[in-house]
Structure 1
Amino acid sequence: MKNKLNRGRENKTYISLLLVAGLAFGVFFTSKTWMYDDSAIAQTAFNESIGGLSQTTLTLRDWEYNPKNELMEVTLERNHTGTDAVEPTFSFYAKEQNESQKYNAELVYQSDNNMVVQIEDVPESFQVIGLFVTEHRDKNILKQEYKAQIENKGGEATVTDQNIKESDLPEPEEVIIVGDYRKIDDNQSLVTKTDKGYKKESIMADMKRTKQEITTIIEEDIPFQEDLMTTLKEEKQTLKQDMAFETKEEKTDTKREIEQKDKAIEEAKSEIKKQKKKVKELQDKYQNREEKLNALTQNKDDNHQQKNEKKDAENAKTDQQATHKNKEEKNNEGSKKDKK
């Protein structure tokens, strides 16, 4: 009887331990979604220039993650700001913070100034991940730079490309773009798109940023300058009124202060004019992107229409052949009757 009781207690103990272990396991792998994380956010800033490369200025535009298929997608804007006549190429890989394992990172789309990089097999348990972007400059340009350096140092002017070793050339430069799980957007529908899909997405994002910039200028920047002008004019008027009760020396100082305010008013007017011109340029840019988007959509619609027209033509041809066949069959039946 005692053995049975002991066995029963042991079973309950094992079950309790399993439940605790299961709960701990669940907490460990889901805590990221419900537990407060007070650690410093290690995220590269969005929509700000990223330095570190000699020929390229990068800007992080978007970072998404699909936990279902463990796929990340990073959208970068690149601007060739260096002096090389040939733009550099890029290679990528990714790593989690404090981990040695590398994740495959592939460039799935690029346009004149955009790159979309996908990082594969990233587990949902990730916390901070770094995308390593390596800039590879043209080898011929690097060789020309090396030869110029040798000549400037008083070396042999007869050095040729064949004499230059790989080790003589500088290592490719690299920057790390960091993503923090608290700043990366979850996107359950994230998949690899077609080039047209990425192009459409890029145009729409550019339109959104342009529209936001226009709104900021119209609703914030210009009103700020207008308010500043109003304040300066009021202060100028007050100074003029005070001059009636001032000494000669005080009037001289007041006149100088009024001149400074006049100058500040003119600067504010000039700034408003500049901002209005910028709004016009941004509106033209927005319209240009809108036309591009419409053309892209129109091409898609045209392709769809062409497919439908082709299908209709094939159906019509099939119907025509069927009608012709029916006529032949009827004619043959008629001929047989006439013979009888």
Structure 2
Amino acid sequence: MNRQTKLITEHTSKRYLIGVSVMAMALLFFLFSGFLFGDESRSKVQQTPLDEPLNLRGAGELEVENWVYNPSKELMVVTLNIDKSTSLLNDKLSFVAQEKEHPRRKIPTTVEYQNDGRYVISIQQVSPSFDVMALDINKEETNNLTLKEDEQNSSKGGEESNQLARIYTDQSKVKTDLNLGVKTMQEYELAALSQEVKKTKETIKEKDESIQSIGERLEEIDQKIVELESERLYETKEEKEQTDAQIRQLKNEKERLHRDSLEYKTAIKTLKEKLKMLKEKQRMISN
């Protein structure tokens, strides 16, 4: 009888321990599932920064100037600027949009304006719950070595697409504008000129500030040279040699700074001429 009671007690204890273990594991699962599988409310924001250089896989750099969304029209407009020094300026680019919420849905994407490395792309029929929108930037290439047989069998003539970059906007971060719409070519041209005027003015300001900094540094150098030459009168031969070396170094720096200042002044003159032409072009297009 005692043995039977003992066996029943042991069996009950094991079941109790198993039950407690299962409950503990379940509790740990719910506590840490957000870390293991990701919590939608804590998901990482996918937003490509504006006005920051983005590498195009060795083909230059691109900046996302603006990315705006009008939920009432289910419309997005993306403005891109491609580095003017890149060979891509002579290549054909295509753009493909994709929603995270509906990844297989084809989304109408149109290049509304393109000139001198500047692209304005409209993305239409955007779902109200797109979550994250990706835009692929592709370089269209044509294979000139395609055999005649392939050319006859393929209407594309060997055309293929190479992805240069993928940029994103997050629904929680994208700039919204209820007045946003597709503009005319003239309006996009004027907007491009306004942006160019703005950047030119900023560059002129930066170079003016550099010239001012150089002037302040030149004053410091002149003052330091006067101090060293005064101290030199009371130094030993070895100390004078060290002082002479410092003075030569400072004078070399002065020459370099004078050259830099001259280059900045020349650049400012060129930029001011460019600014004048941009404003004249704005006036002509506006009339």
TM-score, normalized by length of structure 1? 0.62
- 2: distance between equivalents of 1:183 and 1:280? 40
Q: CA offset at residue 96 of structure 1?
A: 3.7
Q: Where does residue 11 of structure 2 map in the other structure?
A: none
Matched residue, 2:64: 60
Counterpart of 1:211, as a letter, is K
The C-alpha deviation readout for 1:275-309, integer Å capped at 9, x for no partner, is: 111111111111111111111112xxxxxxxxxxx
Structure 1 residues 82 and 210: CA distance shift in structure 2, 3 A: closer
Find the counterpart in structure 2 of residue 251 from structure 1. 240
User: Does the aligned pair in 2 maintain the 1:42–1:179 contact within 8 Å?
Assistant: yes
Give the alignment of 1:161-180 within 5 angstroms: 161-162=147-148, 172-180=162-170
- The aligned counterpart of 2:216 is 227
Helix, strand or coil at the partner of 1:172: strand
1:280 paired to 2:283: no
Change over 3 Å in CA distance of 1:277–1:183 after alignment to 2: farther
The reply to whether residue 136 of structure 1 matches residue 140 of structure 2 is: yes
Instruction: Give structure 2 stretches of 5+ with no counterpart.
Output: 1-40
1:137 CA displacement: 2.5
Secondary structure at the counterpart of residue 228 of structure 1: helix
Cα deviation, residue 98, structure 1: 7.3
Gap change, CA 1:253 and 1:189, over 3 Å in 2: same
Matched-pair contact (CA < 8 Å) for 2:139–2:161: no
Give unpaired runs (5+ residues) of structure 1: 1-36, 144-159, 299-340
Instruction: Note the 1:3-152 alignment, pairs <5 A.
Output: 42-53=46-57, 55=59, 57-79=61-83, 81=85, 87-97=90-100, 100-102=103-105, 103-140=107-144, 143=145
Q: Is the 8 A contact 1:75 1:116 kept in 2?
A: yes
Cα distance change of structure 1 residues 83 and 209 upon mapping to structure 2, 3 Å threshold: closer
Q: Which residue of 1 aligns with 2:184?
A: 194
Higher helix share goes to which structure? 1
Number of residue equivalences: 242
Deviation at 1:81?
Answer: 4.6
Name the CA distance, whole Å, in 2 between partners of 1:242 and 1:224: 27
- Contact 1:73/1:118 (CA < 8 Å) preserved in 2? yes
**Structure-1 separation of matches of 2:169 and 2:261:** 38
1:213/1:66 CA distance change after superposition, 3 Å:
same
**Partner residue in 2 for 1:210:** 200
Distance 1:275 1:164, change over 3 A: farther
SS of residue paired to 2:233:
helix
- Going from structure 1 to structure 2, the CA distance change for 1:217 and 1:182 (only over 3 Å counts) comes to farther
Q: 2:141 touches 2:160 (CA, 8 Å); kept in 1? A: no
Max Rg structure: 1
**Contact 2:132 2:168 (C-alpha < 8 Å) held by counterparts:** yes
CA distance in 2, matches of 1:175, 1:212: 28
> What SS does the aligned partner of 2:255 have?
helix
**Residues 224 and 92 of structure 1: is their aligned pair in 2 closer, same or farther, counting only changes over 3 Å?**
same
CA distance in 2: counterparts of 1:280 and 1:47, whole angstroms? 26
Contact 1:55 1:88 in 2 (8 A): no
Identify if the C-alpha distance between structure 1 residues 56 and 259 changes in structure 2 by more than 3 Å, giving closer, same or farther.
closer
In the TM superposition, what is the alpha-carbon distance from 1:171 to its structure 2 partner? 5.7
The one-letter code of the counterpart of 2:195 is: A
| RMSD (Å), alpha carbons | 3.1
Query: Alpha carbons of 1:106 and 1:93: their partners in 2 closer, same or farther (altered >3 Å)?
Result: same
Please state how far the C-alpha of 1:135 moved relative to its aligned partner.
0.7
Q: Distance between the aligned counterparts of 1:283 and 1:82, measured in 2?
A: 25
Instruction: Give the direction of change, closer, same or farther, for the CA distance of 1:112–1:262 in structure 2 (3 Å limit).
Output: same
Query: SS state of the match for residue 245, structure 1?
Result: coil
Q: 1:181 to 1:240 in 2, by over 3 A?
A: farther
Larger mean CA deviation between 94-103 and 281-290 belongs to: 94-103
Distance in 1 between residues matched to 2:172 and 2:232, nearest whole Å: 60
**Aligned AA for 1:186?**
T
TM-score, scaled relative to structure 2: 0.73
If each structure's strand is expressed as a fraction of its own residues, which one has the higher value? Answer: 2
Cα distance in 2 between the residues matched to 1:264 and 1:42 = 46
Distance 2:163 2:139 in 1: 6
Aligned partners of 1:88 and 1:138 also within 8 Å? no
- Taking the aligned partners of 1:203 and 1:50, their CA distance within structure 2 comes to 22
> Within 2, Cα distance between the matches of 1:287 and 1:230?
34
Query: Which residue of structure 2 lines up, in the alignment, with residue 329 of structure 1?
Result: none
The alpha-carbon distance between structure 1 residues 179 and 294, as it changes in their structure 2 partners (threshold 3 A), is same
Contact 2:83 2:117 in 1 (8 A): yes
Residue in 2 that maps onto 1:270: 259
